[in-house]
């Protein structure tokens, strides 16, 4: 499905009189004044092609939003997570490294809400590319906030902060008041992005909130992330497509939740009269070993027969335990997770079994 070029015919369904076509995009126009309908809100999502971006786009469409996503221009199609949404959303080219593109998108889209999910999000890669990680994940936040300040200062802004900011934790569980001690270039960049968001909120009165999200997973997680690596391996081993999987620290403890639950918290933050920062977490910590056990048992296997420990997969500076305290989110936002840790592991394995069977049926392999 093309993003740029002539509008796709499949996107021109005559669902209402509010659909207009333009060269390059299919646009859901807001209802005309006096039509008797409430004005359709517009949300702009950076990083819409990622796990969280795709879940958030689905959620906002269900809420009746016009959804516009920003994605970097690439020679390879990265739209697999939003392929089922492309006839209902707009995707614009933009780059967190390019200030001009951010200004142009804000001028053209005029969003009511802006969700900044774009980042280099794989922690191990941040050691290999620390400067680029800082540019995207740290300075990129400043660029988009500067564009907001210049073009759309009344937008409600969400910044995707991370539990990796806590790193070498100073207390457990971690709350909004816990000091940061990041242990990776990614974590350091996220701390910068977090504090620059606070700074623009306090300095310029922007309705800017940060969600300090603990690990959140699902079938749309990239294969490089440990939970998806495990669920995919369990599925492939069950189907006879591989025999072993290499992992690093099995004793690392994380507070894991379901990504679909967490995007609901993002939206709730921007519905508040006052902006603020919120820890989003389940309040339960589990080890990588725990995830392995549930995932492999779900397909009738013993993970100890298939997991190989690989010291090269250990982090240079390990984060041993992350455990979140989401009391403020529960009390202020009325948010709480719905998918348990065990159900999360099992639904990921089920999705990967189904995926592998489809690939085998097509004569392919992943």
The burial class, CB within 10 Å (0-12 / 13-18 / 19+), for 250 is: middle
Q: Confidence band (pLDDT; 50, 70, 90) for 74? A: low
Taking only the tens place, the pLDDT of each residue in 214-234 is 999 999 999 989 999 999 999
Q: What is the pTM of this model?
A: 0.86
- Percentage of residues in the chain having pLDDT higher than 90: 75
Q: What is the CA radius of gyration of the chain?
A: 21
Residue 186 is among the residues annotated as catalytic for this protein: yes
Residue 75 is among the residues annotated as catalytic for this protein: no
Catalytic residue (one of 58, 90, 113, 164): 164
- How many Cβ atoms from other residues are within 10 Å of residue 33's Cβ? 7
Catalytic residue (one of 186, 200, 258, 262): 186
Catalytic residue (one of 121, 162, 184, 232): 162
Beta bridge partners of 210: 159, 277
Strand 42-46 versus strand 113-116 pairing type: parallel
Alpha-carbon distance of 112 to 103, in angstroms, equals 15
> What tokens does 10 get?
């499949």
Residue 262 is among the residues annotated as catalytic for this protein: no
Q: Confidence band (pLDDT; 50, 70, 90) for 22? A: very low
Taking only the tens place, the pLDDT of each residue in 173-214 is 999 999 999 999 999 999 999 999 999 999 999 999 999 999
Average pLDDT, the chain: 88
Q: 32 CB contacts (<8 Å, ≥6 apart)?
A: none
- How many Cβ atoms from other residues are within 10 Å of residue 304's Cβ? 10
Alpha-carbon distance of 249 to 289, in angstroms, equals 9
Alpha-carbon distance of 103 to 108, in angstroms, equals 9
User: What integer pLDDT is reported at residue 361 of this predicted model?
Assistant: 81
The backbone torsions φ and ψ at residue 67, rounded to the nearest 5 degrees and listed phi first, read: -110, 125
């Amino acid at each position: 499905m093309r993003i740029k070029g002539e509008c796709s015919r499949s996107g021109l369904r005559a669902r209402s009189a509010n659909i207009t076509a333009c060269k390059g995009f299919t646009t859901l126009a807001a209802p005309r004044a006096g039509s008797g309908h409430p004005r359709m809100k517009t949300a702009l999502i950076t990083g819409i092609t990622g796990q969280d971006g795709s879940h958030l786009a689905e959620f906002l469409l269900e809420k009746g939003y016009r959804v516009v996503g920003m994605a970097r221009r690439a020679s390879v199609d990265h739209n697999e997570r939003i392929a089922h949404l492309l006839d209902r959303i707009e995707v614009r080219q933009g780059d967190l490294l390019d200030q001009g593109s951010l200004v142009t998108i804000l001028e053209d889209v005029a969003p009511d809400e802006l969700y900044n999910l774009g980042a280099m999000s794989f922690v191990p890669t941040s050691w290999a590319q620390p400067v680029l990680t800082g540019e995207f994940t740290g300075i990129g936040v400043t660029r988009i906030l500067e564009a907001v300040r210049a073009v759309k200062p009344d937008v409600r802004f969400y910044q995707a902060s991370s539990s990796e900011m806590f790193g070498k934790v100073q207390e457990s569980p971690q709350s909004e008041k816990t000091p940061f001690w990041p242990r990776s270039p990614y974590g350091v960049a996220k701390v910068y992005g977090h504090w620059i968001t606070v700074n623009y909120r306090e300095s310029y009165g922007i309705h800017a909130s940060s969600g300090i999200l603990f690990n959140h997973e699902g079938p749309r997680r990239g294969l490089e992330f440990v939970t998806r690596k495990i669920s995919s391996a369990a599925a492939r081993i069950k189907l006879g497509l591989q025999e072993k999987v290499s992992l690093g620290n099995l004793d690392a403890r994380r507070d894991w939740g379901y990504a679909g639950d967490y995007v609901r918290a993002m939206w709730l933050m921007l519905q508040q009269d006052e902006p603020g920062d919120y820890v989003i977490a389940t309040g339960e910590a589990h080890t990588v070993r725990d995830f392995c056990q549930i995932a492999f048992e779900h397909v009738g296997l013993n993970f100890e027969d298939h997991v190989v420990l690989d010291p090269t997969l250990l982090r240079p500076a390990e984060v041993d335990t992350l455990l979140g305290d989401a009391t403020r989110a529960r009390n202020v936002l009325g948010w709480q997770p719905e998918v348990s840790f065990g159900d999360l592991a099992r639904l990921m394995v089920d999705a990967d079994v189904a995926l592998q069977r489809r690939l085998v049926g097509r004569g392919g392999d992943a």
